[in-house]
Amino acid sequence: MRRLLWKWHGLAGLITALPLFVIALTGSLLVFKAELDSLLMPEVVNASTGPRLTMNQLVASANQQLSDSEILGWQFGQSGEADTLFVAAMGSYDWQKVWLDPASGSLLTPPVSLTWAITDWLLDLHYMLLLDHAGLLIAGIMALLFLFLGISGIVLHRQFWRTFFTLRWRKGLRLLLSDTHKLLGIVGAPVFLVLGFTGAWWNLEHFYEEELSGHDDSQYIISQSYYSPALDFDALLADTRRQLPTFVPTYLRLPDASYPGVHFFGYREDGGVLRSRFGSIVSYHDQSGVHTSTLDVAGAPALYQFTDSFRPLHYGDFGGLTTRILWCIIGFFPCLMALSGFWMWRQRSARKVPRR
């Protein structure tokens, strides 16, 4: 049985080597996506100094500048950051994004594709391998195989403590690579299991929604504004705190034909470290502004709470900068393991070829 498991472990490693290298490298970089954006395009993602305008002022200013588009989503920037708006042009349902300075209400870019920024392109490469829905499925399968590699590696090296820090420097390259491969796998195994499970869940769930559940965006083409122009967004924002004490809004979802209502996504300041920034939702009627529902993640069903924890676990931001650095470093380990595993396979294959 152990010999068979070694064989399947090696086969899974060969199958996943290249895509896993790409996914691990991009994922490691994306741990610091906000910092990379600020470094690469500060004029786009950084807000000017000064207090935020009121929400009503920002909505009015954005609508005036985006007269031929409908705003569908509004992500509030953190301190010093620009807001990110998601829009679709009238007569289409192709989502685009635009950055807005919350201190002045000015747009910092015209509407651009969701992969216009280099880090957004890296995210698409990480998430879908630039292959759209087919990439969702492929990356999901790779994540499942990555999960298998983590579990099988733990089983095969279950007595790892005996040679945990052994690196045979002078015994040849193959043995050194073997020791390094095992050491990286042992150190990173807990994180690998988390990343593999959450990545597989997200990708396969999204693939099912997009491809297998009959989802068709053509029926949602934007032809009008779907919320009342009389809505008082400042009053709604203030009401979210009355509906859910200590609530911090992070994203506003505005209505369209597929998603009626005005919904504020966010989190509670007194929530746990494994709560995402978008887990709690306060909703309102898109015409009258009357409160319709509140979803507090702390009182949500167990499955919802479980999947809500995926975001901080996958991104590694549940422990602040320390865990983000750890996730960045350990997230890079599969790149090194893919290279070392492939080299060891080549060495073994070369020895099996009979000499003339």
**pLDDT confidence of residue 351:** 65
Residue (of 50, 30, 335, 93) closest to 223 by Cα position: 93
Q: Is the pLDDT of residue 292 over 90?
A: yes
**pLDDT confidence of residue 218:** 82
325 domain residue, yes or no? yes
204 domain residue, yes or no? no
Residue (of 352, 351, 314) closest to 126 by Cα position: 314
Same-domain check for residues 59 and 144: no
**pLDDT confidence of residue 64:** 97
Residue (of 203, 289, 181, 188) closest to 243 by Cα position: 289
Mean pLDDT of 287-303: 97
**pLDDT confidence of residue 45:** 96
Dist. CA 355–CA 329, nearest whole Å:
42
Whether 77 contacts 84, CB under 8 Å: yes
Question: Angle, to 10 degrees, between the axis of helix 321-352 and the axis of helix 173-207?
Answer: 120
What is the Rg, in whole angstroms, of the alpha carbon atoms belonging to the chain?
A: 24
Dist. CA 147–CA 143, nearest whole Å:
6
Same-domain check for residues 223 and 307: yes
Sign of the CA dihedral with 73 first, then 59, 288, and 218 last: negative
- Can you spell out the DSSP letters for 162-183? GGTT---TTS-HHHHHHHHHHH
Domain that holds residue 92: 48-119+218-314
Instruction: Please list, in sequence order, all residues whose beta carbon lies within 8 angstroms of the beta carbon of residue 79, skipping any fewer than 6 positions away.
Output: none
**pLDDT confidence of residue 6:** 85
128 domain residue, yes or no? no
Return the H-helix or E-strand segment holding 298: none
Whether 136 contacts 152, CB under 8 Å: no
Q: How many domains does the chain have?
A: 2
**pLDDT confidence of residue 287:** 97
Same-domain check for residues 299 and 160: no
Same-domain check for residues 222 and 112: yes
Alpha helices for 129-225 (secondary structure H): 132-156, 173-207
pLDDT tens digit string along 109-159?
Answer: 999 999 999 999 999 999 999 999 899 999 999 999 999 999 998 888 776
Return the H-helix or E-strand segment holding 88: strand 83-89
Same-domain check for residues 175 and 285: no
Q: How many CB atoms sit inside 10 A of residue 131's CB? A: 13
130 domain residue, yes or no? no
208 domain residue, yes or no? no
Same-domain check for residues 273 and 150: no
41 domain residue, yes or no? no
Question: Model's pTM, two decimal places?
Answer: 0.91
Same-domain check for residues 244 and 302: yes
Same-domain check for residues 225 and 287: yes
Quote the percentage of the chain above a pLDDT of 70: 92
Same-domain check for residues 176 and 227: no
Same-domain check for residues 173 and 304: no
Same-domain check for residues 162 and 239: no
Greatest pairwise CA separation for the chain in angstroms:
85
Same-domain check for residues 68 and 9: no
Return the structure tokens found at 93: 């349902």
Q: Is the pLDDT of residue 10 over 70?
A: yes
3 domain residue, yes or no? yes
42 domain residue, yes or no? no
